[in-house]
Structure 1
Amino acid sequence: MGNVCGSKSEPSSTMNGNSSSLPSKQVAEGGFARANFIVDNTGTLTDFYDLEGKKIGQGSYGSVSRAINKSTAAVRAVKTISKSHVKNIDRFKQEIAIMKMLDHPNIIKLFETFEDHRNIYLIMELCTGGELFDRIIEVGHFTEVQAAIIMQQILRAIYYMHENHIMHRDLKPENFLFSTKEPLEKSCLKIIDFGLSTKFGKDDIMTTKAGTPYYVAPQVLAGKYDESCDLWSCGVIMYILLCGYPPFYGETDADVLTKVRLGNYTFNASDWKGISEDAKDLIRKLLKINPRDRYTAEQALNHLWVRNKAPKAKGAPLEGAQIENLKSFRSQNKLKKAALHVIAQQLPDEEIEQLKQIFISIDKNGDGQLTVHEIIEGINHADLKEVPENLAEIMKQVDADGSGVIDYTEFIAATLDRKKYIQEDLLWAAFRVFDIDGDGKITRKELSQVLHNGTVSDLVEGHLDEILGEVDADGDGEIDFEEFVTMMRKQ
């Protein structure tokens, strides 16, 4: 069934046009965010990537293909968006800006973008496990444990998004991909489409009708809603996972929407007889007609059904080696810290699986961000001899954007093992992010642009002086690849 409605029409523009009105993450002065390293390239895509002819996905916007990075051999997914098929480029600009903001294990990673006169290209992580929708079709319905594994990942991602003031507005099984073809117990689930997502403020009421009939909340149809619309969609998804069909069904979109408005559904005795009361209770709490009574993502994650049925994070506790990496991260110069962020972002899930599991196990409330208190708990739980005295100062250095919490990529960057990040292909990928014009040298201006979005201040100038003083061995005022590699490999 089609969408209820797209987003409101806005004036068309190019990708590299005015971005002041686009959503972005607040960054403290002198700090940097993951978005700094997701480059909007003006070069030709095929200069950097070999595209495979076979399409792995198709939509009204264009297509998705596999691509291989020519310099690093990394395999990526390329989403090609045909400008002629897009009524409003601004919607895609908003989608890209939101993807740049989001940093969570259950959200698809965007690496970079390209644009030419015909298309916009999004270079993203490649997920090979297919849509959640296809797995539902394949198995009919899931066991409660399997459904809880899926719902826990969805709810974590939504909790994180809502904490960062982003609502999705189009949650449905087609918008989730499994990272690998392994059984779902071993494959990470990722949200993949942010075309209808939007930033919201406290007490904001949205009016744009957006979403898909089976999954849309009654308040969206009425044109007066908030982020709780996403939790309604979660309730519908959970219902489908457990019985194989939607709670609001009709022969036409109009029939479905009539049932959604009334909010009437049943647990058919023959299909639901083996399913626990806890599961039904959570569905009821997510499908409350009144959004004020509806569970939040945090409440849903803490519901007995999720806590009892979804396995606990299997991550080992923090180890001494990771604490040592955190300590040494603090003393690195700003360029090396930033390069470690780029590398952490580029590494595939399987390379950082242990660190990902540690992050999830330390993140006690499941909001996708670590507080100093959660890190201390993680250290205590690990039976390490002592909490480093200067832990608060270490955390301040790890918190690159100054948000007061440690984001996923910030944690990976600061705990990454040296053996992982000194590989030449990864170092080249990181160098390329800073070498904006691709001439093989990083200039002071390029450093300023990537690390500080071109901001000029005494603090920024001091950072640049320090980096060049330490890294520019031949004193020519620029950093070449050899100097960059020396900096990264220095103990």
Structure 2
Amino acid sequence: RLYETFEDAKNIYLVMELCTGGELFDRIIDKGYFTENDAAVIMKQMFAAVYYCHKHHIVHRDLKPENFLFLDKSPDAPLKVIDFGLATLCDPGQSMKTKAGTPYYVAPQVLQGNYNEKCDSWSCGVIMYILLCGYPPFYADNDTDILKRVRRGKYTFPDEDWKDISDDAKDLIRKLLTYDQGNRWTAEQALKHRWIQTMAATDFHGDKNDHKKVVASLKNFRAQNKMKKVALTVIAQQLDESDIGKLKATFQALDENNDGMLSVQEIKEGMEKSGVALPEDLEEIMKEVDSDGSGAIDYTEFIAATMDKKLYIQKDVCWAAFRVFDRDGNGKISKEELQEVLGNDDVRTALGSDLVTQMINEVDLNGDGEIDFDEFMQMMQKST
């Protein structure tokens, strides 16, 4: 995640999320191989990340254990995909020709110079194979011979290492390492495979109190002024996972299809399962939370609407958010700066430029046409 940017006369500095848990590659080296349950938990996160990228027309093209980092050193730390240096924008099924990737993990069609987004599925299949046995399916002593094996696409499950691995695991690997990319499974399909559904099943589905709080928070968010909604979205982008607590697990439990978005139907079904009464105006509430007008609530929008007030009224948290809007660093947010943030960042909304003045006026207490930090803090601390 990108938190903030700075620049001087010579450089641009990117402040990004710090992942201290090391590479997936290092954990493979340390463990040798993973149990099926542990491997499934990792692969589920991997498939979800790839599915999300593909849904937004992004193909990574260099998935490998070195490009997955753990957030921290805990055994159940979340997995993050990194290094989009070879990634490209690509419509579903669109053919690509640029050769990219790493020998062990590259799909045969990439070597042939005619491939689509399912090159990432192939790489996931190779990683899954390695997680379960400790070595790659296409092994040789040098890159030339490795690539020869990849081009053939032939691999086996040696009995001495695979006799105790379930048929479901082998079936999913076969579907991911299908030579014909037309028949190769997508990340979306992999998430629905029985091995993932059973081995990576979570015990957390969100209880009635959790879901009641979510509904109350969504209602409350709707009542906030437009400027505060945008500020909360910025804060949501900057929060550490440790700050979010159970909200991430609640979001994932509601997100039945693992696409990183909550539809009206998913929220309805999740609330009904836990016995929470739904507000009659749920669809209108959803539209207010859906700041980018996508038709569903993404993760950042969900966190923005449901985070604990104790988090976002902290002075240091508000100051970090204020600086995102105060582009020139003069201690005030102007109409032009607000328009720039709305037009370029992830907090872009369907508000339109004609409402920017109204947003400023709702918070500008001294009438100078701008928002200073004291006014910003008062807005954040004010209850609806």
Q: TM-score, normalised by structure 1?
A: 0.75
How far, CA to CA, are the matches of 1:202 and 1:126 in structure 2?
32
Higher helix share: 2
1:342 has 2:234 as partner: yes
Aligned-pair distance for 1:114? 3.5
Aligned equivalent of 1:154: 46
- Specify every segment of 5 or more residues in structure 1 that has no aligned partner in the other structure, as ranges: 1-108
User: Out of 331, 337, 357, which is 2:223 matched to?
Assistant: 331
How far, CA to CA, are the matches of 1:127 and 1:322 in structure 2?
28
How far, CA to CA, are the matches of 2:63 and 2:112 in structure 1?
18
Aligned equivalent of 2:83: 193
* Counterpart residue type for residue 246 of structure 2: Q
Higher strand share: 1
Aligned-pair distance for 1:418? 1.1
Change (3 A) 1:459 1:195: closer
How far, CA to CA, are the matches of 1:335 and 1:295 in structure 2?
43
Aligned equivalent of 1:410: 301
1:158-307 matched pairs, under 5 angstroms: 158-183=50-75, 186-307=76-197
Aligned equivalent of 1:380: 272
How far, CA to CA, are the matches of 1:203 and 1:256 in structure 2?
27
Aligned equivalent of 2:289: 398
The answer to whether the 8 Å contact 1:452/1:460 transfers is no
* Counterpart residue type for residue 110 of structure 1: L
RMSD across aligned C-alpha pairs, in angstroms?
1.6
1:371 has 2:241 as partner: no
1:433 has 2:324 as partner: yes
Aligned-pair distance for 1:468? 2.3
Query: Helix, strand or coil for the counterpart of 1:122?
Result: strand
Query: Helix, strand or coil for the counterpart of 1:379?
Result: helix
How far, CA to CA, are the matches of 1:117 and 1:209 in structure 2?
36
Aligned equivalent of 2:315: 424
Measured against aligned partners, the alpha-carbon deviations of 1:207-227 in whole angstroms (never above 9, x if no partner) come to 010000000000000010000
Aligned equivalent of 2:253: 361
* Counterpart residue type for residue 296 of structure 1: T
Aligned-pair distance for 1:118? 5.3
Higher relative contact order (CA 8 A, sep 6+): 1
The answer to whether the 8 Å contact 2:4/2:324 transfers is no
Aligned-pair distance for 1:279? 0.7
The answer to whether the 8 Å contact 1:471/1:484 transfers is yes
How far, CA to CA, are the matches of 2:152 and 2:286 in structure 1?
49
1:444 has 2:322 as partner: no
Aligned equivalent of 1:142: 34
Aligned-pair distance for 1:462? 3.7
Q: Percent of counterpart pairs with the same letter?
A: 60
How many residues matched? 377
Aligned equivalent of 2:357: 465
Aligned-pair distance for 1:461? 4.2
1:124 has 2:16 as partner: yes
Measured against aligned partners, the alpha-carbon deviations of 1:350-385 in whole angstroms (never above 9, x if no partner) come to 11131100010000011111111101112212211x
How far, CA to CA, are the matches of 1:164 and 1:453 in structure 2?
17
How far, CA to CA, are the matches of 2:10 and 2:344 in structure 1?
27
The answer to whether the 8 Å contact 2:261/2:296 transfers is yes
How far, CA to CA, are the matches of 1:113 and 1:440 in structure 2?
17
* Counterpart residue type for residue 123 of structure 2: S
Change (3 A) 1:273 1:329: same
Aligned equivalent of 1:24: none
1:485 has 2:372 as partner: no
How far, CA to CA, are the matches of 1:459 and 1:218 in structure 2?
46
Query: Helix, strand or coil for the counterpart of 2:261?
Result: coil
Change (3 A) 1:272 1:459: closer
How far, CA to CA, are the matches of 1:265 and 1:118 in structure 2?
50
Measured against aligned partners, the alpha-carbon deviations of 1:182-218 in whole angstroms (never above 9, x if no partner) come to 11xx210110111111111243110010000000000
1:30-41 matched pairs, under 5 angstroms: none
Aligned-pair distance for 1:116? 4.8
Query: Helix, strand or coil for the counterpart of 2:246?
Result: helix
How far, CA to CA, are the matches of 1:462 and 1:396 in structure 2?
20
Aligned-pair distance for 1:321? 2.0
Query: Helix, strand or coil for the counterpart of 1:121?
Result: strand
Aligned equivalent of 1:389: 280
The range that moved more, 461-470 or 227-236, is 461-470
- Specify every segment of 5 or more residues in structure 2 that has no aligned partner in the other structure, as ranges: none
* Counterpart residue type for residue 104 of structure 2: Y
Aligned-pair distance for 1:247? 0.3
* Counterpart residue type for residue 303 of structure 2: I
Query: Helix, strand or coil for the counterpart of 2:104?
Result: helix
How far, CA to CA, are the matches of 1:343 and 1:291 in structure 2?
41
Query: Helix, strand or coil for the counterpart of 2:115?
Result: coil
* Counterpart residue type for residue 163 of structure 1: K
Measured against aligned partners, the alpha-carbon deviations of 1:441-463 in whole angstroms (never above 9, x if no partner) come to 11111111112349xxx963442
The answer to whether the 8 Å contact 1:334/1:463 transfers is no
